[in-house]
Amino acid sequence: MMRFLQTLLQVSRPGFFHLTAIPYALPTFRDPSVLLSSQGIMGLLFVLLPLNLLVYSFNDYKDVDIDRKNPRKGGLHGAQASKSDLRTCMMVSVVALLVLMPLLTSDPVWSLKWNACVILVNWVYNFGPQLSRVPILDMFPPLGYLGTCVMSAKVLDIPNLDPWVFYYLAVMVFRTQLWLQRMDIDADRSVGKYTTAVFVGSTPAAVGVILFLASEIIMSHSRGCAPAMAFAVYSMAVHGLELAICQKHVTMVLMGVAGIPFSYYFMTCDNCLA
């Protein structure tokens, strides 16, 4: 039992918890105290465990052979689990979403629609059309992370974010997706997984990440959102360090550590969210 619980946690990728925790927290900027309410804490636990478990169990099940060769997996940033364990993780996550979301929202119809969108996006990305293996199109399904903001507003009964925030977050999603693809380019290429990074090559992918970061700086400057500008500059420095020393784990640590303070300053800056 303990071994399987450890597998559940690893498949949920604790190193990427901030990718769902931050979008969940953003709509609470008007009154951050709601995050500490019982409803706020239950919603946060939901996005950290069942939701992440669904996203990454689907992905790991499809890429189980690739992950055995991926040095980034096997720790905080992904499991190297068996197919049988991953099948169980998938079933647990789907059941958890279907049961828990209506309890959180008290709106079964809305919950069914949201759950259907989450499951569909992950199915399309990993199975079915397998967009995770279609260059360019593989960049779009991760936009589903933005659904966490929508879910937060619903669960906590608070107004949603300004449209600019969604545009900004979309650029961040594109940048992160391409950056991670470039990290995995050798493992993906070795097994014929044809991602955008594999399609364009390592150097163009690195340039693409820089262009997305430059777009974030321009968008943040036009909005007067200093924390977002600072984070984009920081991210560009980390990306440059990665290119110089070729140490992916350093990148993961530096970006993960910066996530919480960036989110705090982003949420407290009137120009960013108001």
Sequence spans of domains, the chain: 1-161, 162-274
Q: In this structure, are residues 81 and 192 in contact, taking their beta carbons and an 8 Å threshold?
A: no
Reported as a single tens digit per residue, the pLDDT across 51-78 is 999 999 998 888 776 766 666 666 666 6
Q: Assign a CATH topology to domain 1-161.
A: Tetracycline Repressor; domain 2 (1.10.357)
Q: What average pLDDT does the structure give for the chain?
A: 91
Question: Coil, strand or helix: which one is 78?
Answer: strand
What confidence score (pLDDT) does residue 150 get? Answer: 96
Query: Average of pLDDT values for 179-206?
Result: 94
The contacts found for 150-155 with CB under 8 angstroms, 24 or more apart, are 150/114, 151/24, 151/43, 151/47, 151/101, 151/114, 152/23, 152/24, 152/25, 152/26, 152/27, 152/28, 152/43, 153/27, 154/105, 154/107, 154/110, 154/114, 155/39, 155/43, 155/46, 155/104, 155/105
DSSP classification of residue 31: -
Tokens of 186: 């050798």
pTM score of the predicted model = 0.88
Helical segments of 106-162, H only: 108-126, 147-156
What confidence score (pLDDT) does residue 8 get? Answer: 84
DSSP classification of residue 75: B
Please, which residues have CB within 8 angstroms of residue 19's CB and are 6 or more apart in sequence? 145, 176
**Which of the residue ranges 28-37, 144-153, 183-192 has the most confident prediction, judged by mean pLDDT?**
144-153
What confidence score (pLDDT) does residue 2 get? Answer: 75
Neighbours of 258 (CB within 10 A): 16
Q: Is the pLDDT of residue 180 over 90?
A: yes
CA distances from 44 to 41, 122, 166, 168 (A): 5, 20, 20, 22
Among residues 246, 211, 260, 205, the alpha carbon closest in space to that of 232 is found at 211
Separation of alpha carbons 163 and 200, rounded Å: 31
